[in-house]
């Protein structure tokens, strides 16, 4: 598995397994167990996903050394702020049944982001977290919050796929050595993207699937891709992306697909209020 080196010296795999909407009814445990057996070494979860316990159990039962598996979790919006984030970090560690998390993110950068970041900086210094970062942070948010951070974010996890290549925030992040991580790298199997003629032509040339070409492009661009599936054949297919290389013409064709904006705009009015009304992690 190829790795990137984060700005704090921590190594992170270039391809990870995401667990959003994989239920904690045994499905998450089975999916993560299979992903680990295939070779995935980056597992991404969050307090919101309500499956941290199964992820932790799958990691422990895998027989793979804890230091070989990179585990990410995130603080949910309800817990933004210094005191609540301190408690949320310990809650995630308890549910995962781990001594530390490799990466911990501000899931939604609204409200008291500075207080949340301070708690995360302290947890990193205490050894509870190896690296800290943000998620869904736009260029506007970065400019607002970044000057108040003592520790630079190592990762920003955002919507990223060939139709949404996030060039503006990537340019700004590069000054801090922050790596972009892609959620929804396949645009939730968007019908237009998965039948895009330019990608289909490249896939045929390399004898790969459209999904594999997209993932290969994302990794080529220096972005960490998080793929998600509970289907064994798809989990395996998405991992099989390290035995080919895209040429310059392929890369140019893929870059031209960028539409210049994500499907979901974190800067849109009312996003925080919508998320708080829709997702209450304490009501479940």
Helix/strand/coil (H/E/C) assignment for every residue in the chain:
CCEEECCCCCEEECEEEECCCCCCCCHHHHHHHHHHHHCCCEEECCHHHCCHHHHHHHHHHCCCCHHHCEEEEEECHHHCCHHHHHHHHHHHHHHHCCCCEEEEEECCCCCCHHHHHHHHHHHHHCCCEEEEEEECCCHHHHHHHHHHCCCCCCEEEEECECCECCHHHHHHHHCCCCEEEEECCCHHHCHHHHCCHHHHHHHHHHCCCHHHHHHHHHHHCCCEEEECCCCHHHHHHHHCCCCCCCCHHHHHHHHCCCCCCCCCCCCCCCHHHHHHHHCCCCCC
Question: Is 49 designated active site?
Answer: yes
Give the per-residue pLDDT at 78.
97
Pick from 55, 117, 41, 63: which is nearest to 92 by CA? Answer: 55
81 assigned to some structural domain = yes
Choose, from 20, 29, 40, 49, the residue flagged as catalytic: 49
**Total number of domains in the chain:** 1
112 assigned to some structural domain = yes
Give the per-residue pLDDT at 136.
97
220 assigned to some structural domain = yes
What confidence category does residue 188 fall into, taking pLDDT thresholds of 50, 70 and 90?
Answer: confident
284 assigned to some structural domain = no
pLDDT digit string, tens, across residues 256-265: 999 988 889 9
Query: How large is the average pLDDT for residues 107-117?
Result: 98
107 assigned to some structural domain = yes
The residues, ordered by sequence, that sit 6+ positions from 120 with a Cβ below 8 Å of its Cβ are 75, 85, 89, 104, 106, 129, 132
Quote the mean pLDDT of the chain: 96
Quote the domain boundaries for residue 248: 3-277
Statement: residue 284 has pLDDT above 70:
no
pLDDT digit string, tens, across residues 200-258: 999 999 999 999 999 999 999 999 999 998 889 999 999 999 999 999 999 999 999 99
148 assigned to some structural domain = yes
pLDDT digit string, tens, across residues 155-174: 999 999 999 999 999 999 99
Query: How large is the average pLDDT for residues 31-39?
Result: 97
282 assigned to some structural domain = no
Q: What is the CA radius of gyration of the chain?
A: 18
240 assigned to some structural domain = yes
Give the per-residue pLDDT at 189.
76
Give the per-residue pLDDT at 43.
98
pLDDT digit string, tens, across residues 145-156: 999 999 999 999
Statement: residue 135 has pLDDT above 70:
yes
259: domain CATH number is 3.20.20.100
The residues, ordered by sequence, that sit 6+ positions from 50 with a Cβ below 8 Å of its Cβ are 23, 24, 281, 284
């Amino acid at each position: 598995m190829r790795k990137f080196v984060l700005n704090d010296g921590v190594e992170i795999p270039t391809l990870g397994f995401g667990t959003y909407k994989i239920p904690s009814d045994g499905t998450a445990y089975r999916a993560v167990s299979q992903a680990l057996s295939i070779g995935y070494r980056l597992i991404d979860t969050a307090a919101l996903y309500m499956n941290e316990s199964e992820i932790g159990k799958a990691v422990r039962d895998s027989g793979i050394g804890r230091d070989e598996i990179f585990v990410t979790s995130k603080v949910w919006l309800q817990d933004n702020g210094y005191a609540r984030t301190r408690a949320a970090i310990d809650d995630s560690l308890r549910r995962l049944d781990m001594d530390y998390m490799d990466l911990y993110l501000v899931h939604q950068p609204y409200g008291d982001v500075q207080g949340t970041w301070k708690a995360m900086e302290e947890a990193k210094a205490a050894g509870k977290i190896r690296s800290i970062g943000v998620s869904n942070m736009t260029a506007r948010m970065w400019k607002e919050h970044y000057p108040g951070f003592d520790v630079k974010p190592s990762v920003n996890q955002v919507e990223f796929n060939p139709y949404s290549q996030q060039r503006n925030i990537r340019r700004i992040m590069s000054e801090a050595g922050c790596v972009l991580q892609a959620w929804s790298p396949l645009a939730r199997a968007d019908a237009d993207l998965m039948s895009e003629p330019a990608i289909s032509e490249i896939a045929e040339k390399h004898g790969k699937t459209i999904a594999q070409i997209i993932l290969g492009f994302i990794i080529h661009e220096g972005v960490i891709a998080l793929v998600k599936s509970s289907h064994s054949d798809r989990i395996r297919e998405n991992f099989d992306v390290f035995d080919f290389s895209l040429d310059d013409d392929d890369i140019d064709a893929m870059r031209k697909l960028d539409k210049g904006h994500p499907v979901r705009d974190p800067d849109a009015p009312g996003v925080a209020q919508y998320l708080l009304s829709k997702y209450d992690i304490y009501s479940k």
